[in-house]
Amino acid sequence: MSWEIVIGLETHAQLSTASKMFSGASTAFGAAPNTQASAVDIALPGVLPVANKAAVERAIRFGLAVGGKINRRSVFARKNYFYPDLPKGYQISQYELPIVQGGAISILTKAGEKSIRLTRAHLEEDAGKSLHEDFQGMSGIDLNRAGTPLLEIVSEPEMRSAEEAVAYAKTLHSLVRWIGICDGNMQEGSFRCDANVSVRRPGAPLGTRTETKNVNSFRFLERAIEFEIKRQIEILEDGGKIVQETRLYDPDKDETRSMRTKEDAHDYRYFPDPDLLPLVISEEWIEEVQARMPELPDEMSGRFWTAYDLTKYDARVLTQAKETAEYFETAAKLVGQDHAKLAANWVMGEVAASLNREGVGIERASISAPALATLLKRIADGTISGKIAKQVFDAMWAGEGSADEIIEKRGLKQISDTGAIEKIVDEILAKNAKQVEDYRAGKDKAFNSLVGQVMKATKGKANPAQVNEILKRKLGR
């Protein structure tokens, strides 16, 4: 009997505000320890929190982007526990009434599109950092990160594979950057995922879940989930029981291990923070934020599908990231509506492959969208063939100049002069009596070999369509 896998993700996206969630201290990364911790962040006696409007605005933006409900009144609550990197002894978060409820994110996997519903998204502050090395048996505390604004985004347990979970995480990652609320820097911890994983027999009630904490790369997320699925299935198949617990993924050992079980879970004693009034959001504010929203990935992919006559799949792929979408659209507009499909193929093909090879994002592509468009125009107007274009592309990527310069310098212009091609064809036919005979006897392969020889003779520059046509005419079959 098979197992069904059930995954829900909790994602912490650090909001890209200049100052902290409840204090005026800077949120910039990498400062010397404790230099960005204000009186509020270190929880001096008598200090009070004041909510950061820019963080609230970003949460509204997120709610609008996922089609969630923006609660007109939400409540900050205190989550109480003792830890040295939590100076107040409580974290200010949202508990019963979060700022955003519901909404959905559409993901794309090999199996097609799937909508993953969101439970909620709420505002909270980050804790500081405990440093356990370099202090001779003591621990150091860096409170620079304490109070950094986070949006915790909780999905419904609707993902059924590690692949879907990663697709969800990537789509969410792209979305938060798309709408400009998070820089998405995973190394610096700006975007972290906790994975809730359980398995069950199809149709059975939900199994006991484990939560794997703070996975900070997509690859680790996939590895952690795969490990956890395998671990749980093995336990269950051996007749064991899953313990509800929090686990930690160790990338060095590629395994998850138990951090704490439900028994030693904290009682956080949540209650509304009496230092902060309920967060009230007016209709006007929401309308204002709505008016400034960029075109969203779903809207853009719909538009690409119709305006550029792409397949739905291609339109979705191109709108996975804002930078890619913008790159494509710039190129498509320059090369012309009729050849947008060509632009799409090149962006998803050669451009994506080159970026992958170098491990950089499209914003750092060696060929700009307008430069690519010039190359594509040369294909479209028959100056070069697609095959030659790949050579030109590689040269452009290597920084050898513009498409036209390279075509000129290397003499790559396509031969479309019928007379010239006919002459070469005649030469080839004369030299290859055997293949001509084979072809006429019904062996189609022989034709391809003849085309190949013509192309070789012209160093690939002959217009392939013309070569085909002339050969067929001359061979007369």
Partner 1 sequence: MLNASLREIASGLARKKISSVELTKLFLGRIKALNGRLNAFITVDEERSVGQARAADGLIAKGAAQPLTGIPVAHKDIFVARDWLTTCGSKILSNFVGPYDAHLIERFSGAGAVLLGKTNMDEFAMGSSSESSFYGPVKNPWNADCVPGGSSGGSAAAIAARMAPAATGTDTGGSIRQPAALSGVCGLKPTYGVVSRYGMIAFASSLDQAGPFAKSAEDLALLLNVIAGFDPRDSTSIEREPEDYTRDLEKPLAGLRVGVPKEHFGEGLAPDVGKAVETALAQLDKLGAKRVSIGLPNSRLSVPAYYVIAPAEASSNLSRFDGARYGYRAKDYTDLADMYRKTRAEGFGEEVRRRILIGTYVLSHGYYDAYYLKAQKIRRLIANDFTEAFKRCDVVIGPTSPTVAFKIGAKTSDPVQMYLNDIYTIPANLAGLPAASIPCGFGAGGLPVGLHLVGNYFSEAKILNVAHRYQRETDWHRREPAGLQ
Q: Which residues contribute to the site for partner 1 (CB under 8 A)? A: 39, 42-51, 78, 80, 82, 84, 87-90, 141, 267, 269-271, 274-277
Nearer to partner 1, 33 or 460 (CB): 33
Nearer to partner 1, 252 or 267 (CB): 267
d(CA 76, CA 280) in angstroms, rounded, equals 11
| Least Cβ distance, residue 81 to partner 1 (angstroms) | 9
Nearer to partner 1, 39 or 429 (CB): 39
**End-to-end CA separation in angstroms for the chain:** 58
Residue type, 287: E
Instruction: Compute, in degrees rounded to 10, the torsion defined by CA atoms 112, 118, 119, 123.
Output: 150
**How many beta carbons lie within 10 A of that of residue 287, not counting itself?**
10
Q: Helix, strand, coil shares of the chain as percentages rounded to 5?
A: 40, 20, 40
Nearer to partner 1, 49 or 149 (CB): 49
| Least Cβ distance, residue 86 to partner 1 (angstroms) | 9
| Least Cβ distance, residue 168 to partner 1 (angstroms) | 31
Nearer to partner 1, 271 or 285 (CB): 271
Identify the helix (H) or strand (E) that includes residue 211. strand 210-215
What are the structure tokens assigned to 85, written together?
A: 């990197």
Non-local (6+) Cβ contacts of 434 within 8 A are none
Residue 429 contacts residue 474 (beta carbons within 8 Å) = yes
d(CA 456, CA 138) in angstroms, rounded, equals 73
**How many beta carbons lie within 10 A of that of residue 9, not counting itself?**
26
| Least Cβ distance, residue 264 to partner 1 (angstroms) | 12
Nearer to partner 1, 141 or 315 (CB): 141
Nearer to partner 1, 275 or 422 (CB): 275
Nearer to partner 1, 67 or 278 (CB): 278
Identify the helix (H) or strand (E) that includes residue 297. helix 297-307
| Least Cβ distance, residue 146 to partner 1 (angstroms) | 11
Instruction: Report CA Rg, the chain.
Output: 29
| Least Cβ distance, residue 267 to partner 1 (angstroms) | 5
| Least Cβ distance, residue 144 to partner 1 (angstroms) | 14
The three-point CA angle 292-296-302 to 5° equals 135
| Least Cβ distance, residue 273 to partner 1 (angstroms) | 8
- Between helices 162-178 and 297-307, what is the axis angle to 10°? 90
Task: Give the pairing type, strands 4-14 and 149-155.
Answer: antiparallel
